[in-house]
Structures are given as structure tokens and as C-alpha cells.
């Protein structure tokens, strides 16, 4: 068993990926993703099904003049209809009008679909496959034949499944794609069946693999097919796709290059842009990035256990299967009640601080005490940075709270109104201000800024980006312990802080003060 010398990457994010629930891409979105994929170096980009909707037809018109460096554009469609000729089939003609160098045709393999979906004979199905491919080849197209439900069809009737492939081959299809359309085939079945297909067809035939993830094996099944000689892998960025998704190219590409030593991108250095591509595609698709994706997830190289971090401070490979920079990602150390002193020291180094071992021990004990009460610091690393700062003997905070007062009342003609008063010590001065807001936390935020902005004008650039409240013990009702996470951003940075307690106003104030103090401290450092 030998690995192929090169595997071609066929991306179908713009077609199969958009079948995921919750994804809808505009034509301009698809153009942006096309450019990202081409820069990455994929060999083929399937832009859509021009016969299915006007948007995909418009995409192919817009993409026609794109100066692609690496990728070929492919238009996707099905074989001609039962009883018709390709020249008279509207779907086939829409593929022609897309003016792409590559056309991907899907046809039936499984007799269940031949009889129950197409309502035709096995012979007619083979004619549809052969005639459609032959017609497009005569127009100078590179034709990739997608054998839909191939593995289910092969297990039901291997002889007929192979007959459909031979019909495509006789019509001079350039590639034969074996599709696990329902995503339920196991990886050893993939290996056995691809091996059998390889033996049944001439050695020059180029095989591709297209898998879905319904059995959580999309990536494994793709790699199993490569081990048996498939030289093209079809998939999507971040594994987007219908139901449970498609094979995830963000795992397959580094698996091929770093684990199997099989090249699949023309420029190996492009692998370093993989994390950027994954997260940018998620942003364009208006989906939150999945932090726990292999290789490209924010948590893919995040370490929380104290034993792990202690070992990694000696050698990073002790708890990492690759250097994260190879895929454009980075190692992160998390702080929680599971941390050891090494976690705290690593976090201090990350923030550019020199902290003694004793100070790190004290901060760690405080973190564990607070997490026992309900704090969570792994999502609020800026609060940890402040704890480390405050542990330094020469640290002087930019301000200190003397007291605050908040009142919420229903005023005639105005409805609910919140008013906050804060008294702060700023250096040798005492600043006392009040402000109204649309809620108690907003009022506190405005009052705090009102007090500090004259002395710290950079505070005007800080905006509250997110405010999350988590009830930790709901059985206590309105007296429940509450955790508040606040995300703040400036023009160049974004940071998170945490507060907790049985009083939601107090919890919010703690998180709010940390966010302002951290921002001012980091601005002063810059």
C-alpha cells in the first residue's frame, strides 16, 4: 500500500457547504471565499449548481474573469433527465452557460435510486451517465463524475455500481468520484471498496473521494480512500455541509501534509494560512468559529491541566501533536482551578510580566478560591493579567473605588430609569460623578467613564462589545449566584473580564472595573 505522490483538493464549500442549516452566502460572499481558497492553493473550487437557482448562475458570471492563480472553477449539476438528450436538457445547458473549465456531474449508482427516484431502468441510467459526460467532453470540458451513493450502491449490488463507473469511463470522464452521500460507511469498508474498485478498473483511472460526516468519519474515510489510491479529496472548509456536514478540509489538508507526507497544496508554506482561512470563512458565513476544531480551532492547542503545562514549559511537544504555527495557529495556556503554578507563570510571560514563584503561588491560590465561589477565568484572561499585576509590589492602579450607589425607578412619563453615582480615588484626587443609563450596569459604565475620561482620554476608544450573564445555581431563584463576563474592545485589541456573586450589580461592577483597569494598564504599557 503506497500513498499517491500528490492529492488534489476539491473544495465544495460554495455548493455543498451552503446546504448547512443557517448558511446563506451572497454572490459577493462567494467571490471572497473563492479568492481565499485560491490563495490557499486548492486545485478545484465548486462554485455552485447554476441550474438550481439564479444566485449560483450570477456567481459564475461574476467569477468568470477572476484572475485565479491555482484553482479551476467547477460548475455542478446532474446528468440529463430520463428519456432526454443532453443537448435538450435545461440543466445541462445551464452548466454549459456557466463557462467553467470544469463540470462536475452527479449520477445514480444505487439501484434503489434508479428504481424509486428516477423511476427508470438500470440501462437507461447508464445511458444518462454516458451521454451527459460525452456531450460535455465534446465541448472541451474537464468532467468530474460524482457517483452518488456509491458505497451504499456497491454494498447493495457491486456489479451494477461498477457498471455505472464503467459507463462514465467509456464516455471519457476525467475523474470518477466515489461518494459516501449518506455518510454512514465505516473507514474499513471504504478501504475495502476503494481497493476493489481500483482492481476492477484500468490502472490509469483517476479516483476521487467525497464523504459526509454522519458517522463522524468524514475525515477518516477520506484518508482511508487516499491510502487505497484516491488522488482527489472533496470536502469543505470547517466541514460545513448538510446534516452533520462534509469531510473537513481543515483537518484533511494538514493530515495529508504533516501526517502522511502527501503534498496537496502547490506551495507548502500556504498551510500556515489555514487557520486564517477557516476563521475568515466562518466570519463570512456569519457563523461563530468552532473553537474545538482540530488544527484551526482556538482551543486546538489550549492547555488547562497543570501537569500538562508544567511539562510543556520544558518541551512544547510533550502535549502537542504538531507545532501550531505550521497551520497558523498558536498555543494558549488557560487559567482555572485545574491549573498549576506553571500555568500562571506561562500566562505572566504571555503578558510580558516578571512574576516570582511565590507570587505565582499566591495568585494561583486566589484563582482556585474564586473559582470555587463561581468565577471562571479561562474565558476572562484579562482578569488574570490584573491579578498578576496587582501581585507586583510596585503596581499602582489607575483608580480605586471608594463607593458606588445605584437606583432604578419607574418615573412618570419616562418609564424605567437607572441612575448611578460613583466615588473614585484617582491619584491624590477624589472624583464623584453621577449618570443615568438604560439599566443599572449601563448607568455604572457611563458614570465610571464620566469620572475617568478627563484624566484618561484613551478611555473614549473603549467600547463594550459583549455582556454575558450565567446563572450558576438556578434552584436558588432570584438569590442565585451569578457570573458576569464582559468583553471590551479598542481599535486594536479585545479583552474579557469576569465578576461573580449573588448580587448581579456587584458582579457586573467587578467585571466592568477590571475591563477599564486592564485597558488603561495595557494602554500605558504600549
Domains and CATH numbers, the chain: 8-284 (3.20.20.70), 302-390 (no CATH), 400-515 (3.30.160.270)
| pLDDT tens per residue, range 372-424 | 666 666 556 777 777 777 777 777 888 888 888 888 887 776 777 889 999 98
Say what the pLDDT of residue 467 is.
80
Q: What would the pLDDT profile of 29-74 be if each residue is shown by its tens digit? A: 999 999 999 999 999 999 999 977 888 999 999 999 899 999 999 9
Distance CA 377, CA 303 (A): 13
DSSP state of 81: P
Task: Concatenate the DSSP letters of all residues of 27-61 into one string.
Answer: HHHHHHHHHHHHHHT-SEEEEE-TTT-HHHHHHHH
pTM: predicted TM-score of the whole model, two decimal places: 0.73
Which three cell numbers mark 91?
Answer: 440543466
CA 33 from centroid of its chain's CA atoms: 14
Cell of 436: 443615568
The backbone torsions φ and ψ at residue 64, rounded to the nearest 5 degrees and listed phi first, read -60, -35
What residues have CB less than 8 Å from 348, skipping those under 6 apart? 354, 355, 360, 388
pLDDT digits (tens, 9 = 90+) for 125-184: 999 999 999 999 999 999 999 999 999 999 999 999 999 999 999 999 999 999 999 999
CA distances 58 to 39, 285, 420, Å, are 22, 18, 54
Encode pLDDT of 441-469 as tens digits.
888 888 988 988 998 888 888 888 888 88
Cβ-in-10-Å burial (0-12, 13-18, 19+) of 2 comes to exposed
Taking residue 226's Cβ as centre, other Cβ atoms within 10 Å add up to 24
Measure Cα distances from 390 to 3, 75, 336, 430, 512 in Å: 56, 60, 18, 21, 17
Which secondary-structure segment (H or E) carries 424? strand 415-426
Contacts for 14 with CB less than 8 Å, ≥ 6 apart: 25, 30, 33, 34, 45, 46, 47, 48, 59
The pLDDT value recorded for residue 301 is 78
pLDDT of 521 reads: 80
SS (H, E, C) 285-333: CCCCCCCCCCCCCCCCCEECCHHHHHHHCCCHHHHCCCCHHHHCCCCEE
Among residues 437, 456, 455, the alpha carbon closest in space to that of 447 is found at 437
Asked if 150 and 180 touch (Cβ cutoff 8 Å), the reply is yes
Please write the tens of the pLDDT for every residue from 313-353: 556 666 678 888 999 987 766 554 444 545 655 555 565 65
What does the pLDDT read at residue 30?
A: 95
* CA–CA dist 498, 105 (Å, integer): 53
Q: If residue 129 lies in a helix (H) or strand (E), which one and from where to where?
A: helix 122-138
Query: Per-residue pLDDT tens for 177-234?
Result: 999 999 999 999 999 999 999 999 999 999 999 999 999 999 999 999 999 999 999 9
pLDDT band at 312 (very low <50, low <70, confident <90, very high): low
What are 465's three cell numbers? 462589545
Residue 495 half-sphere exposure toward CB, CA atoms < 13 A: 26
Strand-pairing partners, residue 365, are none
Confidence check: pLDDT of 356 > 70: no
| Mean pLDDT calculated for residue range 272-283 | 92
For the stretch 62-118, pLDDT in tens is: 999 899 999 999 999 999 999 999 999 999 999 999 999 999 999 999 999 999 998
Strand pairing report for 415-426 and 400-411: antiparallel
Give residue 338's pLDDT: 46
**C-alpha cell of residue 299:** 482551543
Q: How far apart are CA 382 and CA 226, in angstroms?
A: 45
In this predicted structure, the answer to whether residue 516 has a pLDDT above a threshold of 60 is yes
Amino acid at each position: 500500500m503506497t500513498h499517491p505522490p500528490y492529492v488534489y483538493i476539491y473544495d465544495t464549500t460554495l455548493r455543498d457547504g451552503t446546504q448547512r442549516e443557517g448558511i446563506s452566502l451572497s454572490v459577493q460572499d462567494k467571490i471572497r471565499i473563492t479568492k481565499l481558497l485560491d490563495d490557499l492553493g486548492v486545485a478545484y473550487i465548486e462554485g455552485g449548481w447554476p441550474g438550481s437557482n439564479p444566485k449560483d448562475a450570477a456567481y459564475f458570471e461574476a467569477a468568470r474573469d477572476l484572475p485565479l492563480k491555482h484553482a479551476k472553477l467547477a460548475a455542478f449539476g446532474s446528468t440529463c433527465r430520463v428519456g432526454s438528450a443532453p443537448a435538450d436538457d435545461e440543466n445541462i445547458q445551464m452548466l454549459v452557460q456557466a463557462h467553467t473549465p470544469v463540470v462536475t456531474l452527479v449520477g445514480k449508482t444505487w439501484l434503489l435510486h434508479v428504481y424509486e427516484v428516477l423511476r427508470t431502468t438500470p440501462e437507461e441510467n447508464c445511458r444518462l451517465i454516458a451521454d451527459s459526460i460525452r456531450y460535455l467532453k465534446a465541448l472541451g470540458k474537464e468532467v468530474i463524475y460524482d457517483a452518488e451513493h456509491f458505497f451504499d450502491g456497491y454494498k447493495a449490488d457491486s456489479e451494477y455500481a461498477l457498471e455505472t463507473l464503467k459507463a462514465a469511463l467509456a464516455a471519457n470522464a476525467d475523474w470518477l468520484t466515489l461518494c459516501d452521500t449518506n455518510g454512514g460507511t465505516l473507514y474499513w469498508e471504504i478501504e475495502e471498496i476503494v481497493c476493489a474498485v481500483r482492481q476492477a478498473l484500468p490502472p490509469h483511472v483517476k479516483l476521487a473521494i467525497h464523504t459526509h460526516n454522519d458517522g463522524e468519519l468524514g475525515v477518516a474515510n477520506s484518508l482511508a480512500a487516499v491510502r487505497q489510491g484516491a488522488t482527489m479529496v472533496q470536502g469543505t472548509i470547517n466541514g460545513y455541509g448538510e446534516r452533520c456536514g462534509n469531510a473537513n478540509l481543515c483537518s484533511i489538508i494538514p493530515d495529508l501534509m504533516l501526517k502522511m507526507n502527501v503534498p496537496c497544496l502547490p506551495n507548502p508554506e500556504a498551510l500556515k494560512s489555514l487557520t486564517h482561512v477557516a476563521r475568515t470563512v466562518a466570519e463570512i458565513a456569519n457563523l461563530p468559529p468552532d473553537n474545538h476544531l482540530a488544527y484551526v480551532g482556538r482551543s486546538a492547542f489550549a492547555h488547562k491541566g497543570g501537569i500538562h503545562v508544567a511539562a510543556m514549559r520544558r518541551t512544547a511537544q510533550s502535549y502537542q501533536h504538531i507545532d501550531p504555527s505550521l497551520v497558523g495557529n498558536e498555543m494558549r495556556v488557560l487559567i482555572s482551578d485545574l491549573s498549576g503554578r506553571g500555568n500562571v507563570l506561562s500566562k505572566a510571560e504571555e503578558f510580558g510580566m516578571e512574576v516570582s514563584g511565590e507570587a505565582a503561588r499566591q495568585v494561583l491560590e486566589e484563582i482556585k478560591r474564586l473559582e470555587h465561589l463561581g468565577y471562571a477565568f479561562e474565558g476572562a484572561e484579562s482578569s488574570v493579567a490584573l491579578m498578576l499585576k496587582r501581585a507586583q509590589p510596585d503596581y499602582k492602579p489607575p483608580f480605586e473605588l471608594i463607593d458606588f450607589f445605584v437606583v432604578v425607578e419607574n418615573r412618570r412619563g419616562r418609564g424605567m430609569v437607572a441612575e448611578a453615582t460613583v466615588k473614585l480615588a484617582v491619584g491624590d484626587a477624589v472624583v464623584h460623578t453621577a449618570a443615568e443609563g438604560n439599566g443599572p450596569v449601563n448607568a455604572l459604565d457611563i458614570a465610571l467613564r464620566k469620572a475617568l475620561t478627563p484624566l484618561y482620554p484613551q478611555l473614549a476608544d473603549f467600547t463594550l462589545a459583549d455582556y454575558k450573564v450565567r446563572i450558576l445555581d438556578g434552584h436558588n431563584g432570584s438569590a442565585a449566584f451569578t457570573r458576569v463576563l464582559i468583553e471590551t474592545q479598542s481599535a486594536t485589541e479585545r479583552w474579557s473580564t469576569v465578576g461573580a456573586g449573588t448580587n448581579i450589580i456587584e458582579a457586573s461592577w467587578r467585571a466592568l472595573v477590571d475591563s477599564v483597569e486592564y485597558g488603561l494598564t495595557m494602554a500605558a504599557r504600549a
